[in-house]
Amino acid sequence: MYPGSFDPITNGHMDVALRAAKLFDELIVSIYSGSTKANALFDPAERIELARQAIAECGDPNASRIRIETFSGLAVEHARDIGAGWIVRGLRAVSDFEYEFKYAHMNHHLAPDVEVVCLMTSSRHSFISSSFIREVASLGGDVDGLVPPNIAEAVHRRVSTLRHVLPAHGMA
C-alpha cells in the first residue's frame, strides 16, 4: 500500500508507485480522505479520479498492478484492513528521512506485522511536492512536466477558477 494525500499526485508519486508496482503483485495507492486541509486543491473524490486517470494513461506496463482507493484513520490500520503487509513511502531528499524514520518506527509499534519500505524517487523528481505544485500553480507558474498531463490540466483549470473567486495574493 502506498498511502498519501496526493493533492495532487505528482510525477514523483508516479515514479515511486510504478517502481513499487514492480516489487509487489499489486500496489494499492491509498488516498487519505480523513481531513480536509484548508489549502486542499482537490477533494478526495477528485483526487481518486485524477489518480486513476493518470495511472491508466501513463503507458507503463506495471500500471495494471496499481489500484486506487481511499482511506481515513491510521494508514497502518488501513493496511491491515486490506491485507497489505507493506507500506511504501517515498524519499525525495535527506530531509524526508527523519520523518519517514519516525513514521516507520511508530507504525512498527502500532502494527509490527506491517513493514514500511522506502523508495527514493528519481533525482529528476526529487524537488517536486504536492504543496510546491499548489503554490507554484496558484502564483501563475507552469507545472507542466511536474505532474501527469491530466493533473496539469486539472490544476490549471482549478487555479483559474479560484483566481476568479478569491482575492489576488502572492509573494511580493
The span from the CA of 156 to the CA of 63, in Å, is: 25
Asked whether the beta carbons of 1 and 86 are under 8 A apart, the reply is yes
8 contacts 41 by C-beta, under 8 angstroms: yes
Which positions are annotated as active-site residues? 13, 37, 92, 130
Strand 27-32 to 2-4 pairing? parallel
8 Å CB contact between 79 and 112: no
